[in-house]
A and B are shown apart, each in its own frame.
Chain A
Amino acid sequence: MTTAAAQEVTYLEAISQALDEEMARDERVFLMGEDIGPYGGAFRITEGFQKKYGEWRVLDTPLSESGFVGAAIGAAMMGMRPVVEMQFADFISCAFDQITEVAAKNHYRWGAAVPMVIRAPFGGGVHGGPFHSECPEGWFFHSPGLKIVAPSTPYDAKGLLKAAIRDPNPVIYFEHKFLYRRIKAVLPQEDFIVPIGKAEVKRTGGDITVVTYGATVHLALEAAELLVKEGIDLEIVDLRTLIPLDKETIFASVRKTSKAIMLHEDNKTGGIGAEIAALLAEECFDCLDGPILRIAAPDTPVPFSTPLEEYFLPKVGDIVAAARKLAAY
């Protein structure tokens, strides 16, 4: 590792470090995607990689999402460890068929392991409009055979990407574009992973559980600081992994607080929060002291213009209002 001790790295640099370290550690690991070679990728995450690892391990592909995701599947089945970059998560729709019909099902159907990672830069707040700001995790949440992760911090970003690369299954890695250069942390010098399938309580509190992931974790943390002055103490569960879902951590928190808010940036209908709310209704009904509330984007595409996008995205104020409402029960 090249970073000096105690130096802060961004969420983006954490991703870059994870790729670099895994490529150095395991020669089966290689990268595929559009413009990731000499250019270094749309977000410059693979800057300098091709010089270091060569043209075949940092493979610039044609503009062909289905084609190169399919190719990654084939290479993975032959014993390679491809990491595919979607330039923007939105374009994953072009590869939807390969991901859900081939990658997700091959092991279940005939025992072929498909150890690959798809990195998908997702989320809004960057004025990307309807085709560069989507949160498509819900599409895949419903497809058995895939693992899905969505880190919120540099530590989780690095640790989860390493875990994803080492996982014998197809993993979709949703990295939030809004966090790329805004969130920093000092990372350990030594090799570490964040295990897939484990949520983390990012803030402990006794009154209301907020279940969330990705960029909205930071909104929840902000809201918690405001609410503590009013005597409302939030507990924030960062899912980190969406599939397999860490139900135990969610249930344990809600059993403690008796109140729950689902928070995500994805559209509300059919979102991950809806599933967790249903699980809580099934498993924790007896300990609930109020309705399960959901905070999510409205059921519209992500808009472009600033006031529209601001209206669209969940805000700290939404969390504060929901928490006040729940606290009154």
Chain B
Amino acid sequence: MDLAVVAKEIKKDDLLQMYYYLRLTRTLEERITALYRQGRIMGGVYTSHGMEAIAVGYASALERDDIIAPYHRDMGAFLIRGITPGEVIAQYLGKRTGPTKGKDGNVHIGDLKRGVIGFVSHLADNLPVATGAALAFKMRGESRVVITNTGDGGTSRGDFHEALNFASVRKLPVVFFCNNNQYAYSTPLHLQMAIRDVVERAKAYAMPGEIVDGNDVAEVYLAAKRAIQRARSGEGPTFIEAKTMRMHGHSEHDSAKYVPRELLEEWKKRDPIMKAEQMLKQLGYGDKATLKEIEERVKKEVEAGVEFAEQSPLPEGREVLDGVFATEDEVQP
């Protein structure tokens, strides 16, 4: 189907904004990778290079009061929720101005005020948590929804299945995304599961499932919109498999020699940013000047972020002792 025809349903400003976030994600992650290569980042760097359209697409479809429980390749979702590039870089550098104040690293970013449930390394652990947030909304009769994401590897965990089952039994307002980038670290999909499409997993829970082109931001956005609409109207959860390809190593230390080069060459032609540009041009929204302006703006914002993060203080050693327990005033109202 012609991309532009599908995307006609989306407002011009929304599409341009998604393009901006695609660009911001790419530029920010490239900058973080560069910092990593300079040895200025200690922990792991997991990027969404080539997969930016998934997080940008689903997070753009949400309303302000909704919640996300993202996984480790969802940078775009953080940015859309209002986490700034400066905060992200501060987080990577272990600075006190990062969302975890140096307690945790990389994309382990959480902030309930901005509707972000922090990722935990144990893959799929946040899926039951996302269903619980949705349960709270349903119990209180609020029309808020939760979107959560996982990799194809994460869908083999028991917690994935426990979450889908519970959400479906109780018709909770939650949308499950799966970023199927075909590899879990070095494990290819056919050694991860005996089925061909991850979406088949949803059948066991009587959950409607859908496959989308994960490299097409408009398609992801529209699928998310439909699922969110279902969730908000009390019809329960939806499963969306976004097919894509991991274009970098599992983390930046990994050269990913186990991925056939031809496969990467093929997927390179489907780069989500390139695709979005073509779509904008076809629709007559993306003249050179507009796109150039976005590119320049994004670069400036990322550089300002680096500046902010570098000038931010590191925490002091004894702050390690702070925050093991919460106080009453920190509980959500």
Interface residues of A (CB under 8 A from B): 30, 56-57, 61-62, 64, 66-80, 82, 97-98, 101-102, 105-115, 144-145, 147, 168-169
Contact = CB atoms under 8 A, between A and B. Distances in A.
A107 to B, nearest CB: 4
Interface in B283-333: 323-328, 330-333
Nearest to A100: B122
B1 interface: no
A110 to B, nearest CB: 4
Contacts of A79: 136, 331-333
Contacts of B135: 71, 74-75
A101 B323 contact: no
Interface string B148-188: 00000000001100110110010000000000000000000
Contacts of B169: 62
Interface string B116-149: 0110111001111111111111110000001000
Q: Counting chain B CB atoms within 10 Å of each CB, which of A66, A69, A70 scores highest?
A: A70
Contacts of B118: 106, 109-110, 112
A110 B137 CA distance: 22
B122 A111 contact: no
Nearest to B172: A71
B131 A110 contact: no
Contacts of A71: 128-129, 131-132, 135, 163, 166
B242 interface: no
Contacts of A82: 132
Contacts of B331: 79, 113, 115, 168
Contacts of B133: 74-75, 77-78
B103 interface: yes
A85 to B, nearest CB: 16
Interface residues of B, number: 49
A252 B117 CA distance: 43
A144 B120 CA distance: 16
B136 A66 contact: no
A75 to B, nearest CB: 4
A144 B331 CA distance: 19
B122 A70 contact: no
Given A70-B163, A71-B163, A74-B135, 17 more contacts: A57-B139, A62-B169, A64-B166, A70-B129, A71-B135, A72-B132, A106-B110, A107-B324, A107-B326, A108-B324, A109-B104, A111-B330, A113-B331, A168-B325, A168-B328, A168-B331, A169-B325
A220 to B, nearest CB: 30
10 contacts: A62-B166, A70-B132, A71-B163, A71-B166, A73-B132, A79-B136, A80-B136, A107-B323, A108-B323, A110-B100
Nearest to B67: A78
Contacts of B127: 70
A63 to B, nearest CB: 10
A145 B120 CA distance: 15
B108 A98 contact: no
Interface string B46-78: 000000000000000000000101000000000
Interface string B85-119: 00000000000000110011000111110000110
B330 A74 contact: no
A126 to B, nearest CB: 29
Contacts of A69: 128
B125 A98 contact: yes
Contacts of B327: 113, 168
A67 B117 contact: no
A67 B331 CA distance: 22
B129 to A, nearest CB: 4
Contacts of A77: 112, 117, 129, 132-133, 332
Contacts of A73: 128-129, 132
Contacts of B132: 70-78, 82
A158 B331 CA distance: 23
Contacts of A62: 162, 165-166, 169
A66 B324 contact: no
Given A74-B133, A98-B125, A67 B159 contact: yes
Contacts of B121: 101
Shortest 6 CB-CB contacts between residues of A and residues of B: A74-B132, A70-B128, A67-B162, A71-B132, A110-B110, A113-B326
A109 B100 contact: yes
A83 B158 CA distance: 22
A109 B108 contact: yes
B104 A78 contact: no
Given A56-B139, A64-B162, A64-B166, A70 B125 contact: yes
Contacts of B159: 66-67, 70, 97-98
Contacts of B110: 106, 109-112
A30 B120 contact: no
B125 A102 contact: yes
B323 A111 contact: yes
B122 A97 contact: yes
A244 to B, nearest CB: 8
Contacts of A109: 100, 103-104, 108, 110, 118
Nearest to B174: A74
A48 to B, nearest CB: 20
A34 to B, nearest CB: 12
A62 B167 CA distance: 11
